[in-house]
């Protein structure tokens, strides 16, 4: 028996940006059996078979984030599927994350690398792992230092000079600036 859904049963797919990466959430709904399956990054986290009530709410977690898939009837045999993350709609949550996080993705010694800065806390995540960091004030701003293997890295925060823009963050790896890839979703 396969852990993969038949393509016609998957009714919702969401890409959810978080500090530790972008998580893919799939929702499978069998409208004749009431079956509900939720997968996070391809791993099944919830399964309910033979449910008589076809609408409702399924709760689960992604990391420390509480999530819910809502199933609502739109008419006879038509359903709407929505995702909530930490009590916010998927759209509001992704908008909030795009404001709160800066992401860089790049190749480092032949390996795909993702660095994420949580602007409010200045926490740095590398490939899903929270890093030990050391912050310091420098002449024109701040630097948050960390290492990726033997690579010396830091995020430099400097004022943009514009109130609306605020602080501009740049990532440096071995003294080379890495362009931001803040197109999270």
Task: Locate the domains of the chain by residue range.
Answer: 7-86, 100-178
For the stretch 1-52, pLDDT in tens is 344 445 568 999 999 999 888 999 999 998 788 899 999 999 999 999 887 7
Same fold: 7-86 with 100-178: yes
- Total Cβ atoms within 10 A of residue 85: 23
Phi, psi of 133, deg, nearest 5: -130, 160
Which residues, 6+ apart, have CB-to-CB distance to 146 below 8 Å?
124, 126, 131, 132, 133, 134, 153, 154
Q: What pLDDT does 185 receive?
A: 42
Does this model's pTM top 0.85? My answer is no
Residue 60 tokens read as 């689960």
Range 29-60 burial, b when 16+ CB lie within 10 A, else e: bbeeebbbbbbbeeeeeeeeeebeebeeebee
Which residues, 6+ apart, have CB-to-CB distance to 137 below 8 Å?
none
Whether residue 74 is predicted with pLDDT greater than 60 in this model: the reply is yes
- Helix (H, G, I), strand (E, B), or coil: what is residue 141? strand
Fold for the domain defined by 100-178: Lipocalin (2.40.128)
Task: Tell me the average pLDDT of the chain.
Answer: 90
Report d(CA 160, CA 108) in Å as an integer.
28
Q: What pLDDT does 113 receive?
A: 95
Whether residue 182 is predicted with pLDDT greater than 70 in this model: the reply is no
- How far CA 13 is from CA of 7, 29, 101, 176, in Å, comes to 12, 12, 22, 37
Whether residue 107 is predicted with pLDDT greater than 70 in this model: the reply is yes
- Helix (H, G, I), strand (E, B), or coil: what is residue 99? helix
Fold for the domain defined by 7-86: Lipocalin (2.40.128)
- How far CA 164 is from CA of 102, 119, 122, 159, 168, in Å, comes to 17, 15, 20, 11, 11
């Amino acid at each position: 028996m396969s852990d993969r859904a038949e393509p016609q049963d998957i009714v919702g797919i969401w890409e959810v940006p978080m500090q530790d990466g972008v998580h893919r959430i799939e929702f499978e709904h069998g409208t004749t059996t009431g079956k509900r399956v939720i997968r996070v990054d391809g791993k099944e986290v919830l399964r309910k078979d033979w449910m008589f009530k076809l609408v409702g709410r399924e709760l689960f977690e992604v990391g420390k984030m509480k999530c819910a898939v809502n199933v609502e009837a739109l008419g006879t045999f038509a359903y709407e599927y929505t995702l909530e993350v930490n009590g916010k709609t998927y759209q509001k949550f992704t908008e909030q994350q795009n404001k709160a996080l800066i992401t860089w993705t790049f190749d480092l010694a032949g390996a795909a690398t993702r660095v994420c800065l949580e602007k409010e806390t200045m926490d740095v995540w590398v490939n899903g792992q929270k890093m030990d960091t050391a912050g310091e004030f420098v002449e024109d701003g701040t630097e948050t230092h960390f290492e990726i293997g033997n690579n010396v890295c830091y995020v430099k925060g400097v004022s943009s000079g514009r109130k609306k823009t605020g602080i501009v963050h740049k990532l440096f790896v071995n003294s080379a600036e890495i362009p931001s890839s803040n197109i999270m979703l």
